[in-house]
Each structure stands twice: as structure tokens, then as C-alpha cells.
């Protein structure tokens, strides 16, 4: 549960994102569209940089991974084969008094979270009381904590069972038994729990008779599976190999709140790694570790990431976990790592009647490869970067500044070029410097307002460096270089700027840490 302070942080981040051109509500002049957002001039740059970081990691650092860009529309049978037509459902329940709709499983998970919080509170209290506090011992022996833990175990097991059996009656029973109340109305006046398919459907073809029901893809993965042999043959790929893709996905989420965390139109960065059957667990562990390293290399704080195994495996998986991030509302899924077995390829073989087999020339046999998938939401990545880099600081002169400490390689602008005054040839000199740097670094030019005010604006959009051109520049060809994080200023020769800044702002700088 988010603490009030964290709620405030989230609210501040949301309004900051709008005020500084990162994210706008979609079609805002018509009062917006629920759970759909547009990325503004700074947001689009940050998003592109995150994509580049992911794409380069996958396709440059792994010689056996290639990227594709499949269409959003796919043959409707694709979604029969993948199981989405029959099983891509969420259980929904309405509160009759508030008329609010919830995901039944999330209401029950909320109950579990509350029990976990109770345990943490007991642990905190005890840790204050005892000097040589042994957490594990306390948790296993304290009667109240044991009771909470037992309840968590029981509810988790029943939830997992109900979800995997699609047992709506059992979910309703749990909601009633646990006396879960609607956070809005406070009542327990619930409807039955019903299944709700999350796919958006539309029609293809100009004449009604020709119209064919097709879906907006709910995940990008299927575009990779149906192209598996095209890529393998034309790229002469040998198992193990991967196919990466970045693209839009659409889900008619029942409860789409929490800003860009859960949207109806969002973007995924997915990689399907095709392996020899029997080797999937080795690769599952490999990708779990690699992907966590990729996240941690951003420097947003190692303590903000954790793994969470799935209690409830999807129909296609034999192992699955999430990498969770500590968002303002608590630890939540950022990326999923799934061992998808040969479910998808096998199913496409069955539905299409086309062979989906790989010929292993070394073993001289054919087989359908197993698949390990890494799937991260681009928008959730964006949110993790924005929330953890947003900071307010008290300065020595008593004033306050808001700074986005976005990792330099991801920042929308790398350098702000600021002539101290709008006269005496300073703007011309500034443009000369900008024209030299702009091929390597995204520069932002501004000459209006006092320099302090301009620095603050750059802090607020996360520009890691400001270059100030003054009268001394005209004499000795040096500028003031200001660092966003430390606010330190140093005098640097114009000739040294590129060499000083390009490496610090390069995506490669992050990639080398992985
Ligand atoms: P959740 O449990 O939060 O609904 P999921 O398990 O359904 O997510 P996956 O199907 O594993 O998600 O999708 C992979 C990734 O896509 C997620 O880790 C998440 O980052 C992102 N994602 C999924 N649904 C959304 C959404 N509605 N809005 C934004 N990102 C999403």
C-alpha cells in the first residue's frame, strides 16, 4: 500500500510529467480518454532512448539475436492458436453501491498485501525492542505473525487454484469470506465474479459482408512466433537464437489506473529465445540474471529491484517470474521472464497446418524449439526512470529545486547551450558551438531569462549538462560547464567539450556495465 508521502510523490511526478512536456492525457481537449496517454516532446526522446538501450543490448551485444518489426494486425486464427480468444480473460467484479469495477484477483492480492504489512509492522516494533533482533526467529515464533503468515499462505494457495481453474465461484467465495470491502463505498455488496476478455476487436474490409473480425494484438510475441521460420531460414540462424521486437500492444484492462503503469494502449519490448528442448531451464536462469543486470546498470538503485516467482503459471509456461520495481505505489511488475515451452510454435503448427520445426544439422534431427521470453513494458520502464529520478532539493540559499536525475544516456537533451546575454555576439558564438556538438549530442538552445532560471528549467527536464557562453568565451574560447547533479561549474575549453561529454552521455556507457 502506498504511504501518503508516496502518494504525493506519484501525484507530483504526474503533474511534473505534464508540465514539462513528457506525458499528456490523450485527446485532452475532449477531457481525455481513460488510460490512454500521449508522449510529449521530452517524453518521446526519453522513450526513444530507453528503446535504444534495450535494442542495442539485445541485438548488438548478442550476435545470435536479431530484431524484427511485425504488423499489429494479424490473421485472426493467430489468437485462437495462442489461446487468447479462449483464455485471455481477467475476472471482474462490480461493487453495486459505488458502481466501480475491480479485478477480483487484485482485490484478494490487496488483502494479502495488507497481511504482509501487518507482519512488517510487528517486525519493526520488535526490532526496536530487542537489541540482538533475529528476524527469521521472530517471524517463525511470534504467535500473531505466525497467524498472519498462515492466512497469507492459505489465501495465496486458494487464489492460485481458483485462477488456474478459472473458478469464478471460488474467487467470489474468497472475497466474501475475507470480508473485502470496496475502497470507494466501503460496502461488501458485490456482484458475481465474471470473466472478461481483454482483447480489442475490430473489423477488416470495406464492405460489411467482407468484414472479418480481427484483433489489435494484446502482446507482440505472436508476431515473432509466426515469423520464426522466416527469420531462422533467411538469417541462417542456429538454435539457440533470439528474435527481438519493440511494438504496441492493446489490452482492454478492467482497472486501468495508476497513470502509465496500466494502459489500454502500451508498448512492449520482447525477445523470444529459441532453445533446444530440455535446455530451457538453463536459459531461463541465464535471462533472469542478464535482464536484472540490464536494469541495474541504469543506476536507479539496486534495492529497487526484486524477483517475484509466479504462483500461478499461465497455460503456456513451465516457469515464470517477474522483475519487480519499487514504484511509488510499492513493488510491481516491470518485466516478465517466462519459459513458454513449445506451446506457441506447436499450437501454430496445429492451427496452420504448416511445419514449425527446426532442423538441427549437428544432431541430424527435427524438433520444435522451446522458448524463453523476456518481456518488458516500455511505458513501465519510462515510469520507473521518471519516478526514481524525480527529486526535490533544498538549496543553500533556502530555495528549492526540482531535478530529474535521469541517467545521462537516457536524458531527452544532453546539453543546454545558453548564451549569458542576447547581445555582443554571444548568441552567434553559442550557435557555433551547438552546430559543432549537435551531430553527437542532442542539444537544446535557449537565450531567454536569467541564467539561474534557465538552469532550473534544465534541471526539471533532466538535462545533464549546461554550457554557458559569456564574454570570456569570446576571448579565450572557454565556456562554463555545469553539472546537473552536483551543480558544480568548471571552465572548459570549447575544443574539449565533445570528448568530455559524448562518452558520459552514450548508451554504450551503460551497456559496458552489463
Ligand atoms: P500485469 O500482471 O501487471 O497485468 P502481465 O503479467 O499481464 O502484467 P505480461 O503479459 O507479462 O504482463 O506483459 C509483459 C510486460 O508488459 C509487463 O511486465 C508490463 O511491463 C507490460 N504491460 C503489460 N500490461 C500492461 C499495461 N496494461 N500497461 C502498460 N504496460 C503493460
DSSP symbols for 332-383: EEEEEEEEEETHHHHHHHHHH-----EEETTTTEEEPPEEEEEEEEHHHHHH
Does pLDDT of 4 surpass 60?
Answer: no
- Predicted local confidence at residue 6, as pLDDT: 62
Instruction: Give the Cβ contact number of residue 300 at 10 Å.
Output: 20
Contact between residue 436 and residue 498 where contact means Cβ atoms under 8 Å apart:
yes
Task: State which of 149, 180, 197 marks the end of a domain.
Answer: 197
Q: What is the DSSP letter of 317?
A: -
Q: Which range marks the domain in which residue 83 is found?
A: 7-88+199-283+321-394
Of 10-14, 133-137, 183-187, the poorest mean pLDDT is in 133-137
- Predicted local confidence at residue 2, as pLDDT: 44
For 360-364, which contacts have Cβ atoms below 8 Å and span 24 or more sequence positions? 360/239, 360/276
Does pLDDT of 207 surpass 70?
Answer: no
Same domain, 447 and 423: yes
Residue pointed to by grid coordinates 555582443:
424
The Cα 264–Cα 34 span in angstroms is 8
Where b means 16+ CB within 10 Å and e means fewer, 18-43 reads bebbbbebbeeeeeeeebebebbebb
Does pLDDT of 133 surpass 90?
Answer: no
Of 199-208, 229-238, 254-263, the poorest mean pLDDT is in 199-208
Same domain, 432 and 486: yes
Q: What is the position in ligand 1's atom list of the atom closest to the CA of 333?
A: 18
pLDDT digits (tens, 9 = 90+) for 387-434: 999 999 998 888 899 999 999 999 999 999 999 999 999 999 999 999
The average pLDDT across 241-265 equals 93
The Cα 451–Cα 457 span in angstroms is 10
Instruction: Give the Cβ contact number of residue 402 at 10 Å.
Output: 16
Q: By alpha-carbon position, which residue is closest to atom 10 of ligand 1?
A: 219
C-alpha distances (whole Å) from 158 to each of 152, 290, 332, 335 are 10, 33, 21, 25
* Helix, coil or strand: residue 455: helix
Q: What is the position in ligand 1's atom list of the atom closest to the CA of 262?
A: 28
292 occurs within a structural domain: no
Task: State which of 180, 197, 214 marks the end of a domain.
Answer: 197
Same domain, 353 and 231: yes
Percent of the chain residues topping a pLDDT of 70? 97
Ligand 1 center–CA 377 separation, angstroms: 6
> H or E element: which one contains 109?
helix 104-129
Higher pLDDT, 37 or 123: 37
Contact between residue 239 and residue 277 where contact means Cβ atoms under 8 Å apart:
no
Does pLDDT of 210 surpass 60?
Answer: no
Ligand 1 center–CA 340 separation, angstroms: 16
- Predicted local confidence at residue 206, as pLDDT: 66
Q: By alpha-carbon position, which residue is closest to atom 28 of ligand 1?
A: 262
pTM of the shown model: 0.88
43 occurs within a structural domain: yes
- Predicted local confidence at residue 5, as pLDDT: 61
Does pLDDT of 477 surpass 60?
Answer: yes
Does pLDDT of 249 surpass 80?
Answer: yes
* Largest pairwise CA distance in the chain: 80
> Environment class of residue 456 by beta-carbon count within 10 Å: exposed (0-12), middle (13-18) or buried (19+)?
middle
- Residue 402 pairs in a beta bridge with 392
Same domain, 368 and 445: no
Task: State which of 143, 169, 197 marks the end of a domain.
Answer: 197
- Predicted local confidence at residue 211, as pLDDT: 61
pLDDT digits (tens, 9 = 90+) for 93-130: 999 999 898 999 999 999 999 999 999 898 888 888 88
C-alpha distances (whole Å) from 22 to each of 37, 39, 43, 412 are 10, 6, 4, 9
If one counts the domains in the chain, the total is: 3
C-alpha cell at 348: 501454430
**Rg (Cα) of the chain, in Å, rounded?**
26
Q: What is the position in ligand 1's atom list of the atom closest to the CA of 264?
A: 27
301 occurs within a structural domain: no
289 occurs within a structural domain: no
- Residue 467 pairs in a beta bridge with 417, 481
Does pLDDT of 383 surpass 90?
Answer: yes
- Residue 483 pairs in a beta bridge with 465
- Residue 443 pairs in a beta bridge with 415
Ligand 1 center–CA 230 separation, angstroms: 27
* Alpha-carbon torsion (19, 25, 27, 28), positive or negative: negative
384 occurs within a structural domain: yes
- Predicted local confidence at residue 166, as pLDDT: 86
Same domain, 173 and 234: no
Same domain, 38 and 162: no
Residue pointed to by grid coordinates 530555495:
399
The Cα 101–Cα 93 span in angstroms is 6
Q: What is the position in ligand 1's atom list of the atom closest to the CA of 377?
A: 20
- Predicted local confidence at residue 451, as pLDDT: 95
Q: What is the DSSP letter of 328?
A: T
Instruction: Give the Cβ contact number of residue 336 at 10 Å.
Output: 21
Ligand 1 center–CA 379 separation, angstroms: 10
The Cα 359–Cα 425 span in angstroms is 69
Q: Which residues line ligand 1 (CB under 6 A)?
A: 219, 251, 253, 262-263, 266, 268, 333-336, 375-377, 379-380
* Average pLDDT of every residue of the chain: 93
Q: By alpha-carbon position, which residue is closest to atom 6 of ligand 1?
A: 336
Pocket test for ligand 1, best of 322, 377, 385 (most atoms within 8 A of CB): 377
288 occurs within a structural domain: no
Does pLDDT of 135 surpass 50?
Answer: yes
Same domain, 155 and 232: no
Q: By alpha-carbon position, which residue is closest to atom 23 of ligand 1?
A: 377
Which pLDDT band, with edges at 50, 70 and 90, does 136 fall under? confident
Among residues 243, 223, 201, which one has the least CA distance to residue 82?
223
Instruction: Give the Cβ contact number of residue 229 at 10 Å.
Output: 16
Does pLDDT of 3 surpass 50?
Answer: no
Does pLDDT of 8 surpass 70?
Answer: yes
Same domain, 71 and 215: yes
Ligand 1 center–CA 198 separation, angstroms: 12
Same domain, 150 and 36: no
Contact between residue 315 and residue 89 where contact means Cβ atoms under 8 Å apart:
no
115 occurs within a structural domain: yes
Same domain, 375 and 270: yes
Amino acid at each position: 500500500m502506498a504511504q501518503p508521502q508516496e502518494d504525493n510523490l506519484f501525484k507530483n511526478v504526474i503533474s511534473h510529467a505534464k508540465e514539462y512536456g513528457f506525458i499528456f492525457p490523450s485527446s485532452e481537449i475532449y477531457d481525455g480518454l481513460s488510460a490512454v496517454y500521449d508522449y510529449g516532446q521530452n517524453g518521446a526522446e526519453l522513450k526513444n532512448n530507453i528503446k535504444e538501450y534495450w535494442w542495442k543490448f539485445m541485438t548488438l551485444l548478442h550476435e545470435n539475436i536479431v530484431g524484427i518489426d511485425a504488423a499489429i494486425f494479424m490473421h485472426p486464427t493467430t489468437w485462437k492458436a495462442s489461446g487468447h480468444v479462449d483464455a485471455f480473460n481477467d475476472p471482474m467484479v462490480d461493487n453495486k453501491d459505488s458502481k466501480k469495477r475491480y479485478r477480483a484477483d487484485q482485490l484478494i492480492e490487496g488483502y494479502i498485501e495488507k497481511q504482509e504489512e501487518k507482519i512488517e509492522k510487528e517486525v519493526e516494533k520488535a526490532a526496536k525492542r530487542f537489541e540482538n533482533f533475529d528476524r527469521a526467529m521472530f517471524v517463525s515464533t511470534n504467535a500473531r505473525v505466525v497467524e498472519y503468515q498462515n492466512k497469507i499462505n492459505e489465501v495465496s494457495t486458494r487464489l492460485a487454484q481458483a485462477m488456474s481453474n478459472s473458478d469464478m465461484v471460488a474467487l467470489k467465495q474468497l472475497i466474501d469470506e475475507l470480508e473485502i470491502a470496496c475502497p470507494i463505498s466501503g460496502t461488501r455488496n458485490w456482484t458475481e465474479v465474471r470473466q472478461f476478455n481483454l482483447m480489442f476487436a475490430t473489423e477488416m474490409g470495406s464492405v460489411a459482408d467482407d468484414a472479418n473480425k480481427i484483433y489489435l494484438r494484446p502482446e507482440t510475441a505472436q508476431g515473432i512466433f509466426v515469423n520464426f521460420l522466416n527469420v531462422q531460414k533467411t538469417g541462417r540462424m542456429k538454435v539457440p537464437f533470439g528474435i527481438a521486437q519493440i511494438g504496441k500492444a492493446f489490452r482492454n484492462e478492467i482497472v486501468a489506473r495508476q497513470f502509465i503503469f496500466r494502459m489500454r494502449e502500451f508498448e512492449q519490448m520482447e525477445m523470444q529465445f529459441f532453445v533446444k528442448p530440455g535446455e530451457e531451464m538453463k536459459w531461463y536462469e541465464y535471462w533472469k540474471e542478464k535482464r536484472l543486470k540490464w536494469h541495474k546498470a541504469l543506476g536507479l538503485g539496486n534495492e529497487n529491484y526484486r524477483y517475484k516467482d509466479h504462483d500461478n503459471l499461465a497455460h503456456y509456461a513451465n516457469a515464470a517470474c517477474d522483475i519487480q520495481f519499487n514504484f511509488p505505489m510499492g513493488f510491481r511488475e516491470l518485466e516478465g521472464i517466462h519459459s513458454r515451452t513449445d506451446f506457441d510454435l506447436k499450437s501454430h503448427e496445429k492451427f496452420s497446418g504448416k511445419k514449425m520445426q527446426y532442423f538441427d544439422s549437428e544432431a541430424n534431427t527435427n524438433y520444435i524449439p522451446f522458448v524463453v521470453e523476456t518481456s518488458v513494458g516500455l511505458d513501465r520502464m519510462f515510469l520507473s526512470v521518471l519516478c526514481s529520478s524525480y527529486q526535490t532539493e533544498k538549496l543553500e540559499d533556502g530555495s528549492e529545486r526540482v531535478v530529474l536525475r535521469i541517467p545521462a544516456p537516457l536524458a531527452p537533451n544532453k546539453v543546454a547551450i545558453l548564451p549569458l546575454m542576447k547581445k555582443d555576439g554571444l548568441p552567434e558564438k553559442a550557435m557555433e558551438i551547438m552546430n559543432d556538438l549537435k551531430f553527437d549530442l542532442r542539444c537544446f538552445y535557449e537565450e531567454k531569462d536569467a541564467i539561474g532560471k534557465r538552469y532550473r528549467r534544465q534541471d526539471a527536464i533532466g538535462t545533464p549538462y549546461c554550457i554557458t557562453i559569456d564574454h570570456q568565451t569570446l576571448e579565450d574560447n572557454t565556456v562554463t560547464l555545469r553539472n546537473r547533479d552536483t551543480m558544480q561549474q568548471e571552465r572548459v575549453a570549447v575544443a574539449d567539450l565533445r570528448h568530455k561529454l559524448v562518452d558520459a552521455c552514450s548508451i554504450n556507457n551503460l551497456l559496458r556495465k552489463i
